[in-house]
Amino acid sequence: MRFSGKTCIVTGGGSGIGRATCLRMAAEGGRIVVVDLHQDSAQATVDQIHTAGGEATAATANVGDPAEVQAVIKQAVSLYGEIGVIVNDAAMMTFTPIVDISEDDFWSVIKVNLGSVFYFSKYGARQMPPGSAIVNLSSVHAHKTTPNVVPYASSKGAIEAFTRGFSIEMLAKKIRVNAIAPGAVDTPMLWNNPNVKSGAEKVTGAVGKPEDLAAAICFLASDDAAFVNGTTLIVDGGRLAQL
């Protein structure tokens, strides 16, 4: 029971990797704050946790909005007490070339993907005791990519640099900060990607399950990873290793 009595905030908890992480952390004793843009999907995750005998609450928020992020943190602390784990999982993609994408659409991706990591770090760390952990979701797109997803790839590359730098700032507070870079994972985000649909991005042979990622996220979030800090763990079934 690695998360017994710990308040765990998981963004994007209404689907895919985020939902699998919520379920695994709750099964290991965590009190989960399931954050999602969509109230019904966050609530569906909460319902699954309750059915399994766990503890959870839903928080509807746009994680790219600092006021909404602060409201989530306030809700989590007032309900469950100080925060032990934050998983920054929620993200979005666009599929428009840089020369055609609007400025607003470009900055929306950066704000949701990178801004959320900034806001939950800035406002969340103040509520985290020594021994707490933050896990940020990057992507293999931070390392190798395909056309038309530059805002997404940029946000993920920045998340890895943010993770490294913020981990150093948190050393004195004894809060560990790590990232996970998933490869292709069987979730709506993967199969809705037009590059995957067209075959421009090949995923054959190395598609993980959301539970595979949840296992790695829970490792980094737990004391099992007490000596792991400031790093990005690539969890892609070996996809990046193959030329």
Q: Which residues contact ligand NAD by CB under 6 A?
A: 11-12, 14-18, 36-38, 41, 61-64, 89-92, 112, 137, 139, 182, 184-185, 187-190
The question of whether 152 is a catalytic residue gets the answer: yes
Q: 228 is written with which tokens?
A: 């792991």
Q: How far is the CB of 202 from ligand NAD (least distance, A)?
A: 13
Q: Which is nearer to ligand NAD, 4 or 192 (CB)?
A: 192
CB of 88 to ligand NAD, least distance (A): 8
Q: Which is nearer to ligand NAD, 175 or 214 (CB)?
A: 214
Q: What distance in Å separates the CA atoms of residue 135 and residue 88, rounded to the nearest whole number?
A: 6
Of the pair 77, 196, the CB lying nearest ligand NAD is at 196
Maximal C-alpha separation, the chain: 51
Residue 133, burial from CB neighbour count under 10 angstroms (0-12, 13-18, 19+) = buried
- Catalytic residue (one of 80, 119, 123, 152): 152
Is the CB of residue 228 less than 8 Å from the CB of residue 135?
no
Q: Which residue is nearest to ligand NAD (CB)?
A: 16
Q: DSSP characters for 166-205?
A: HHHHTTTTT-EEEEEEE-EESSHHHHT-HHHHHTSS--TT
Q: Which residues are catalytic?
A: 152
